[in-house]
A and B are shown apart, each in its own frame.
Chain A
């Protein structure tokens, strides 16, 4: 289902677009106000956060309806508002926001899921003493995320992107007294930074080539006709055009933020943060920002593709996504922390999304993003409920039998799990994942991604079954007794579960509303959509894969309740497989040996340089100054003072000499007197001569 990226824009900006900026600003303002509050004012903080996000949700919904209305009338809706931030020389730096189908869907999803998680957090963090700080950071995150979504300028997007990264750091390290949490926050920030460096390079390159960072700007934006053609014509080596190269650089930023293969190491450790944080940021929204970014700059990556073909950039995206999907799923099989399994699952599903973007286009990838947001948030919140009910226990080997102790949580969790696995027909995950598989099947370049993604689906079903069996089936293996969570936590679970099912409806081949909406085509309910060649076979095949995974998982783990110390069933049968998977395929160790070691070496070199070379220079200068001071002192004491003293001595001895004139001898005086008289008289006589 490829789509063309040649939109003809509509210029008039409606009222809602005019006030679109309120959507991100409201939560940011709330965050600022909460920052000024004292800790005990919990109710006020929570109310401000939830209230501001509700306003954002309301406005997002209005904007969404507006876009839908515009779409239904057959027009293309892309409204934007741009303004100049500052000028330098002849160039200007512009910022702005845009409202089109892509943005409209995202802001509704982000604010809706965010609102549910905010409400959930009120219950989850009730016993935490840093309640207000939590909501301050959450609000800031929500505002920044919404800013990323509606941004029309790559620069503004980058700025909000960085704020999102900052809040992620703050929230991962929320319990900063724990050294592991502080380390995890640092790791997250630094790893995403690596991606951001490439992202920034892409921005700079784009600006230098097109002179603007705006996406859409009456035809002169960087994603519009003229600029794209210009970028296409330049070659950047390796078979890439400038457009493709810039696209890949921006993709590198997405790799960091969305935890794709080389830079995924921070996501599992990010589970140190509170569960609502994991749900909101590391499942539903922030990690999806990378996918959204690729979707936004899709024209850059797609330009130059022959009809029905693909570009180098998109190929890279596809392979990275596919390999990440399988890689993370493999590791998830052997984890024992409930949240870590979900974290690796998230990485895997993000790989699916990226592959979907590369294989099938914006709509395919975005559909899976939306469905994933709902069921992954559901799973995380459910996990939080489980943790809360098991008195902060996170190891699945110490849980069990919770389906009777926490029924509501069990039901909602099961719905989310089935949606994730892609259980046929009823669950949204099935439709979104199948969309990706179908695109992979029709990909001309290689069938490799297809097989990888199918294998990944098998693994997904397997490890989720394992997790559910450990947690909810068997009998209780933990301390004390488990209890159900309060309503404020289970209500959001229920709402999310509803959407995990219902969203599937808008993406089926019979009524591909979602895809039509994003690609600006008309959509109609047509059961003949199922009659596409190969579609039925694919649906059947993927369903079999899911059942196989579920069956395998049940067979190995079923209703059994192994003791916490006992080895895992898989470990018993294939220990050679188990160990590397449990040790996360040694990626962290690899980084430790290469990158970190290099960094340490570099730091030592810099230290040596600083102490010996620069320090040496400073010491040399200081020595010179000391020399100068000594010289000055010598001059001062020996020459100036000495000279002065000598002068005084000379004057004194001169005085002594002069005083010898006064010999005290009277006859001398007389002589001088007489001589003077002679002289005077002579002068007198001489001058009075006639």
Chain B
């Protein structure tokens, strides 16, 4: 493990933890952004430059902003009376720990079968573009449809309802 890896991992995980633990929702949203950034850098370290930049563009540029908007539109700045954690937070914690335990166990169990790093792949944007419209054209179109539907849906859902007069 290189130190860079440790740093980036700490960034991502720290951001995530902060996002979950902080009281103010806006702080949580910003912490999430930090986590997203850390992950993007991890992608870069893994030689997935397009994915990394796409991560920054989409997640930090759109999703995080969207979250902040939502927080603002739902008065998320008001703190709830009973605290930010639900009553049965311990069970949730236990379950999450269980999930982590299982996953870690799976990973560590299969360490020996996983090969070491291969040669650096040369991935140009040109190749990605070719793949998108060549091999992955169907998923591309479907995702396009999905995005359209999602956009329309989100707009309709969040729109003010027209008053119906009989």
Contact = CB atoms under 8 A, between A and B. Distances in A.
Interface of A: 667, 671, 674-675, 677-678, 681-682, 685, 689
A667 B99 CA distance: 16
B86 interface: yes
A678 B109 contact: no
Contact of A685 (B86, B96, B109): B109
B86 A667 contact: yes
Nearest to A682: B102
Q: Chain A CB within 10 Å — which of B86, B95, B105, B109 has the most?
A: B95
B92 interface: yes
Contacts of A682: 102
Contact of A674 (B86, B88, B95): B95
A685 B108 CA distance: 12
A689 B86 CA distance: 37
A681 B102 contact: yes
Given A671-B91, A689-B109, 11 more contacts: A667-B86, A671-B88, A671-B95, A674-B95, A674-B96, A674-B98, A674-B99, A678-B98, A681-B102, A681-B103, A685-B105
18 contacts: A667-B92, A671-B88, A671-B92, A671-B95, A674-B96, A674-B98, A674-B99, A675-B95, A675-B98, A678-B95, A678-B98, A678-B99, A678-B102, A681-B106, A682-B102, A685-B102, A685-B105, A689-B109
Nearest to B105: A685
A8 B62 CA distance: 151
Contacts of A678: 95, 98-99, 102
A260 to B, nearest CB: 119
Contacts of B106: 681, 685
A677 B91 contact: no
Question: Which DSSP category, helix, strand, loop or mixed, fits chain A's interface?
Answer: helix
Interface string B98-125: 1100110110010000000000000000
A174 B95 CA distance: 116
Contacts of A674: 95-96, 98-99
Nearest to B100: A678
A577 B91 CA distance: 134
Contacts of A689: 109
Contacts of A671: 88, 91-92, 95
A416 to B, nearest CB: 130
A373 B105 CA distance: 139
Contacts of B98: 674-675, 678
Given A671-B91, A685-B105, A685-B109, A677 B99 contact: yes
Nearest to B91: A671
Nearest to B98: A678
Contacts of B91: 671
A678 B106 CA distance: 12
Contacts of B102: 678, 681-682, 685
Nearest to A672: B95
Nearest to B86: A667
Nearest to A685: B106
A671 to B, nearest CB: 6
Contacts of A681: 102-103, 106
Contacts of B109: 685, 689
Nearest to B92: A671
Interface in B51-110: 86, 88, 91-92, 95-96, 98-99, 102-103, 105-106, 109
A675 B88 CA distance: 14
A401 B86 CA distance: 144
Q: Return the 6 tightest CB-CB contacts between A and B, nearest first.
A: A678-B98, A681-B102, A674-B95, A675-B95, A678-B99, A678-B102
Nearest to A677: B99
A675 B105 CA distance: 16
Nearest to A690: B109
Nearest to A675: B95
Nearest to B94: A675
B107 to A, nearest CB: 11
Nearest to A680: B102
A361 B141 CA distance: 147
Most buried by B among A675, A677, A678, A685: A678
Contacts of A677: 99
A463 B99 CA distance: 143
B122 to A, nearest CB: 36
Interface string B124-143: 00000000000000000000
